[in-house]
């Protein structure tokens, strides 16, 4: 029995050492390539659920384009609104960005339809939902500026001036976010 114990110990110890070696190399695998950003593990970052949500957003955008080409702006607006209802994996940064971009397009479509208040509300919802600064949030501020420009054009006197000032503030915020992000990316060598 002592001999058997020795054999079992040697075999298990050999396998365990193999395991620890492979796991340690796997854990340090990130050192071989570029450093990982805030994204989680690749399997979490690029999973089936994320691809499904992105694929649906892609199709809905193209559907909206076809509808707009066909002159059906209302249909295009409805198609873009559907993007806001898509379910993304929890914590996926793509979710915020895709929704922000959809709201930016939606606001522009609403402006084209003369629905300025609805356009402004759409932008405000997107900004309120944003959890971090991004180029997509900056784009939302840009669209807010456009919406407020359009609103100012409909107003007169002090209201128009205030709306134009608000538009300028929105453009400034967009620029600041863009500058800050580009500096950050440049500092990280990206």
Residues that bind other proteins (CB under 8 A): 1, 3-4, 7-8, 11-12, 14-16, 18-19, 22-23, 29-30, 32-39, 42-43, 45-48, 50-51, 54-55, 57-58, 61-62, 64-65, 80, 93-94, 97-98, 101-102, 104-105, 108-109, 134-136, 138-139, 142-143, 146, 178, 181-182, 185, 190
Cβ 45 to other proteins, closest distance in Å? 5
CB of 30 or CB of 159, closer to other proteins: 30
Tokens 């040697």 identify what position?
Answer: 10
Q: Which residue carries 């690029």 as its tokens?
A: 46
CB atoms within 10 A of CB 97: 18
Distances (CA, A) of 49 to 7, 18, 91, 92, 99: 47, 34, 12, 10, 16
Residue closer to other proteins, measured from CB, 8 or 159: 8
Which residues neighbour 147 within 8 Å (Cβ) at sequence distance 6 or greater? 107, 111, 116, 119, 120, 123, 167
Asked if 96 and 132 touch (Cβ cutoff 8 Å), the reply is yes
Between 39 and 168, whose beta carbon lies closer to other proteins?
39
**Least distance in angstroms from the C-beta of 34 to other proteins:** 6
């Amino acid at each position: 029995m002592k001999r058997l114990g020795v054999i079992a110990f040697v075999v298990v110890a050999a396998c365990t050492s193999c395991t620890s070696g492979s796991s340690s190399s796997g854990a340090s695998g990130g050192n071989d390539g570029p450093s990982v950003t805030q994204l989680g593990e690749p399997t979490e970052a690029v999973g089936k659920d994320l691809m499904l949500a992105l694929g649906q957003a892609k199709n809905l955008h193209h559907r909206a384009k076809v509808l707009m080409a066909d002159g059906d702006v209302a249909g295009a607006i409805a198609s873009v609104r559907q993007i806001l209802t898509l379910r993304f994996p929890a914590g996926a940064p793509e979710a915020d960005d895709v929704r922000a971009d959809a709201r930016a397009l939606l606001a522009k479509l609403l402006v084209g339809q003369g629905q300025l208040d609805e356009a402004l509300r759409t932008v405000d919802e997107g900004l309120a939902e944003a959890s971090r600064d991004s180029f997509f949030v900056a784009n939302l501020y840009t669209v807010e500026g456009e919406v407020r420009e359009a609103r100012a054009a409909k107003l007169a006197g002090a209201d128009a001036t205030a709306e134009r000032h608000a538009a300028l503030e929105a453009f400034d915020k967009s620029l600041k976010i863009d500058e800050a992000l580009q500096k950050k990316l440049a500092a990280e060598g990206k």
